[in-house]
Amino acid sequence: MDIEELRQRLEFEPQGLPLSASLLAKCQIDFDKVDLALAWQESQPHHYILTPSDPLYPPLLQQISDAPLVLFVKGLVTPLVMPSIAIVGSRNASRGGLDMAAELAYNLASQGFVITSGMATGIDGAAHKATLAANGPTMAVLGTGVERIYPKRHQYLYHDIIQSGCVISEYWPEVGPYAGNFPKRNRIVSGLSLGTVVVEASRKSGSLISARLAMEQNREVFAVPGSVLGGYSQGCHDLINNGAKLVECAADIIEELGSLSDYHLEQLHHRHHIQDNDICDLPFPSLLASVGYETTAIDAVVEDSGKPIDLVLIQMLELELQGWVAAVPGGYVRLKRS
């Protein structure tokens, strides 16, 4: 992305508000901030600024009515185009709720789904950690800029997520934690995902915002029932009464989303002009020849293959789904010989 394109899309909002098309006419663009954003992107190899016209902009997120005009991404971009499930819930979760979130995340990640959440304490953190334990990619949608770690206790979790997934924000990289930003980021959590799972939520829980937004975005909503004592799960029970699918295990979610996941990958093929004969010709010999049995950086794969990075990422995803390679911190490793 060049500076002129970014200047046309970005605007500076000093209170840390999201980049909004409706405010474009009201706010004066601060080109110094645009220059700083571009400098941030160029400062590290895994810094990305994506707009809806970019091939790597998440296709599901692009479908929502208020999709962010700009996404700042830090980490691996491959998870952005993979089928994702959101897991959200209470910040003050019970032990049982934390265990349930971890079990669902681990099992879903083991089946090839990316787990998306908000890196908050409680259910969010449990879902991210379990996904990492399953060696799966996870995406954290932040209510701050991607360079601000909040809450501070998740400093190690933040760095672990970047190694095998990514952190995402629509806010400038250095924006701090403003209370109003966190509910607004929930539309991105649900918008990135085929479905949203609410593990534990009271009737006043902020995670119900994610569930409501998922419904408005025509996405699937799942809820885990709990005890009627203590009020931990009243919000989940209300969701079930209003049509959310009751979830007791990961199979309940996969049963609903398996066909949607296949459709998502099919749409990616069309979007990136991967024809049927390309798929039959897998495993993309030029890419496989570029991936070693020790960690190979994605930049090296792109350079060796001579293909654009967006096409490389899609084809690498195909190879990963077919068991030829595995995504690891720092790149990919080859798993079997052709």
List pLDDT tens digits, range 208-220. 999 999 999 999 9
* Model confidence at 23: pLDDT above 70: no
* Model confidence at 143: pLDDT above 70: yes
Q: What is the pLDDT of residue 259?
A: 58
Look up the domain containing 308 and give its range. Answer: 272-334
Task: Identify whether 246 is part of a domain.
Answer: no
Q: What is the pLDDT of residue 277?
A: 38
Q: What are phi and psi of 112, to 5 degrees?
A: 100, 5
Task: Identify whether 277 is part of a domain.
Answer: yes
Q: Which residue has the higher pLDDT, 121 or 37?
A: 121
34, containing H or E segment: helix 31-43
Task: Identify whether 260 is part of a domain.
Answer: no
Question: Under the phi-then-psi rule, with left for phi > 0, alpha for psi from -120 to 50, and beta for the rest, what region is 194?
Answer: alpha
Task: Identify whether 305 is part of a domain.
Answer: yes
* Model confidence at 20: pLDDT above 70: no
Task: Identify whether 173 is part of a domain.
Answer: no
Residue 176: both structure tokens together:
């701090």
Mean pLDDT in residue range 110-132: 95
Total domains present in the chain: 1
Task: Identify whether 247 is part of a domain.
Answer: no
Task: Identify whether 312 is part of a domain.
Answer: yes
Q: What is the pLDDT of residue 12?
A: 40
Q: Which residue has the higher pLDDT, 176 or 332?
A: 176
Q: What is the pLDDT of residue 48?
A: 92
Mean pLDDT of all residues belonging to the chain: 83
Q: Which residue has the higher pLDDT, 330 or 19?
A: 330
Query: Measuring CA to CA, which residue among 107, 102, 95, 134 is closest to residue 117?
Result: 102
CATH of the domain at 297: 1.10.10.10
Residue 122: both structure tokens together:
């409680």
Q: What is the pLDDT of residue 266?
A: 56
Convert the pLDDT of each residue in 270-326 to its tens digit.
554 444 334 434 457 777 888 888 888 887 888 887 777 767 877 787 787 777 888
Rounded to an integer, what distance in angstroms lies between the CA atom of residue 309 and that of residue 289? Answer: 16
Between 60-64, 250-254, 284-288, the lowest mean confidence (pLDDT) is in 284-288
Residue written as tokens 């924006």? 175
Convert the pLDDT of each residue in 43-60 to its tens digit.
888 899 999 988 789 889
Q: Which residue has the higher pLDDT, 3 or 109?
A: 109
Task: Identify whether 29 is part of a domain.
Answer: no
Q: How far is CA 313 from CA 281, 305, 337, in A?
A: 17, 12, 20
Between 124-128, 172-176, 194-198, 225-229, the lowest mean confidence (pLDDT) is in 225-229
